[in-house]
Amino acid sequence: MKRNKLPGIILLACCALFAGMQANAKGIEVRNGNIILDFSTKIASQTSAGTYTIKRSTGRFSEYQTIGSTSSTTFIDKKVKGNPHDYYYQITDKKGNLLASMAMDTEVFGDYVYIYSDTDRKVDVGNEINAIHEQMFGKEFSPNRYALLFKAGDYKEAGLLKVPFYVHLAGLGKTPFDVEVSNIHTPPHLSNGNGTCTFWRSAENLSVIGPETYDEEETFKWAVSQAAPIRRIYSQRVVRNQWENGWVSGGFTADCYFDAAAGSKNQQQWYTRNSFLNKGRGEFEEIKYNYCFQGVELGTEVDIKAYQNNWDKGGNVTFIPTTPIIREKPFLFIGDDGRYKVFRPALKHEHKGVSYSRTDMGEGEILDLLNEFYVVKPGVSAEYMNKQLVAGKHLLITPGMYELSEPLHVTRPNTIILGIGWATLIPGEKNSDTAILVEDVDGVTIASLMFDAHYTSNTLIQVGTEKTAQRHTQNPILLTDLFFRIGGFRPAKVYVDRAVELNSNDVIGDHFWIWRADHGVRGSVGWEINTTRNGLVVNGDHVTIYGLFNEHFQEYQTYWTGEHGRTYFYQCETPYDAPSQEYYMSENGTRAGYAAYKAADNVNTHEAFAFGIYDVLHNEIMIENSIEVPDKTGIRMYHMCNNTLSGGGAKGFNYILNGIGKSTYKTHHDYRAYIDEFIGKR
């Protein structure tokens, strides 16, 4: 039967979201092969008394059968066969009224992780997911978060699934082919198909099955902007990255296998890594600024001319044959033994194509969730999480907003901190340091987390306390799908000195959106309200970053002092709200504006590809260069463009890079300037 209400949809009081207490005792557990239910807490507010009927099914929306009754608030299910996580329970009163629902899955993951089973009535699955969409539609700064997870099975009869803000849609199979859905859309809340604020949602590890057609309603319409990754997805349908003819500012695809075409017309930019594109972009024109394909394999029918580096001819395509070093993002799945696991993919060098096949999840390490992880739910304190880290546990952080009284401190090699359902970390009011501090150790993975600044802190994540000579060549630190927000959520002043600081060597960054908010709730944004110097500061050597989105910071947005750095794809906008030229000067007040990307003068070796840097300025501001790098033989920059979204006039970039390439200043709206390459000479 359907739930009477969805507990995750009800607006949570902030005091509950940000509570610092320990989680409640277990209400359901396995003991000696039996499942023991204690529903006393569940019905504490109910007036019912007498005999309780216990019903059981193999899914939340499956058929429930009566298995017993009890006059107490405990019950022992002695007829458990197979996997305890396959059982779901309902407790009803003598009139048949539903008093409580219980499951091992809910006990492990909490109330904001919805897990679907192949035995569920698919129409109910679709109805619930789309009800969440209706409740969350346009709620750009909601505190609610959800993970919607599918056990292996065929869910196509659930119909079209709509994915709103703060929803993470994922399969629990070993490969994407283990979970099938019919279609997925991401409707924009702005008018005229405008998807430029379609942020903070994700989909991974499932198949989208349906007809191959360009009919818009039949396409897999992942029409998103920043912080909305799709990973490890197989699609039979055409993948469309825009809504109608609307403007969009995406986007990120990795480890996906697309049988049909994938693309758009009006996406400003898109980064696709280590995927298979059987039909390439097909009929999509992709006429805008910056499209980068790295480690991508193409089908035999693809017009290879569409995937040639063409910036020397005024084009917008960067094609990089391989990815030099990468580890794909870890993910949650169910193993052959029915237990929840986390898969940590293997490190790859010069990688091309996807990491899996129909029958093989790929190379990597499998970790048992309940044995090797501590599962964090809202109400668990930072102090307790740190105790678990010291004890050698990894962390799986479930949906919620977590105000941290102290940084999560990673000191052990190979530690994993993995979020699901847009788990969000906030340095607390008395924590002026950071949300996560990673010591200079091998093999740490931080994945799928949002960071939100509500108060004052030095950083939001710091990797390595200082620059050292320690190398991590064989087992680098991985930071993947990390999204940072300074301002926008609450009406108060916030300050972060530098959002992301990387001091360790050999760090891999795979998809960041680092955002000083340009809009939000009333009183949450402004030049003197949400203040922050830098989005990303890289002091470590041999740091490689893929898919870097970094916007609106008040000084250098990306500032690189380390050697042998590499950036593959960069999207950046200027701060909209610099009040005047006087307020926006670099180099001790001698240079107009701040470069959006700067390698310090001491850097000797640096390489970068596929940059789209745009001016969006409310006031008359000139920025001398969008990019500043030393003119040395080890500096190589390829495919750099500027575009003005300021509306023309005395606004914009004077030059693209180091005084080279006359740019957008005193031009017109949507003017694009570019350079094919810069190779240092000294």
Which residues pair with residue 548 across a beta bridge? 512, 570
- Number of C-beta neighbours around residue 34 at 10 A: 13
Confidence of residue 48 (pLDDT cuts 50, 70, 90): low
Of the residues 204, 403, 573, 624, only one is catalytic, namely: 573
**What pLDDT, on the 0 to 100 scale, is given for residue 295?**
99
3-state secondary structure of 615: strand
pLDDT digits (tens, 9 = 90+) for 580-600: 999 999 999 999 999 999 999
Minimal CA–CA distance to 324: which of 476, 135, 500? 476
Contact by Cβ (8 Å): 306, 407: no
Respond yes or no on whether the N-terminal peptide bond of residue 251 is cis (omega within 30° of 0). Answer: yes
pLDDT at 649 exceeding the cut of 70: yes
pLDDT at 320 exceeding the cut of 60: yes
pTM score above 0.75: yes
Residues contacting residue 59 through CB under 8 Å, at least 6 positions apart: 88, 116, 117, 118, 119, 120
Minimal CA–CA distance to 516: which of 591, 435, 460, 594? 460
- Express as a percent the part of the chain with pLDDT over 90: 94
Q: Is 107 a catalytic residue?
A: no
Q: Could you state, in order of their start, the residue ranges of all structural domains in the chain? A: 14-105, 112-321, 365-679
Using only C-alpha atoms, what is the Rg of the chain? 25
**What pLDDT, on the 0 to 100 scale, is given for residue 1?**
34
pLDDT digits (tens, 9 = 90+) for 170-190: 999 999 999 999 999 999 999
Structure tokens at 319: 């094609």
Residues contacting residue 456 through CB under 8 Å, at least 6 positions apart: 432, 494, 495, 496
- Tell me, which fold does domain 14-105 have in CATH? Immunoglobulin-like (2.60.40)
Domains 14-105 and 365-679 share a fold: no
Angular region, 542: left φ>0, alpha ψ -120 to 50, beta rest: left
**What pLDDT, on the 0 to 100 scale, is given for residue 12?**
38
The phi and psi torsions of 490 (rounded to 5 degrees) equal -135, 150
**Strand pairing category for 340-345 and 364-368:** antiparallel
| CA distances (Å), origin 83, targets 172, 337, 356 | 15, 8, 26
**What pLDDT, on the 0 to 100 scale, is given for residue 647?**
83
pLDDT digits (tens, 9 = 90+) for 478-515: 999 999 999 999 999 999 999 999 999 999 999 999 99
Which residues pair with residue 258 across a beta bridge? 235, 277
pLDDT digits (tens, 9 = 90+) for 370-417: 999 999 999 999 999 999 999 999 999 999 999 999 999 999 999 999
Minimal CA–CA distance to 416: which of 484, 486, 344, 472? 344
Q: Is domain 365-679 given the CATH code 1.10.150.120 in the classification?
A: no
Residues contacting residue 63 through CB under 8 Å, at least 6 positions apart: 57
Quick one: average pLDDT of 465-478? 98
Mean pLDDT of the chain: 95
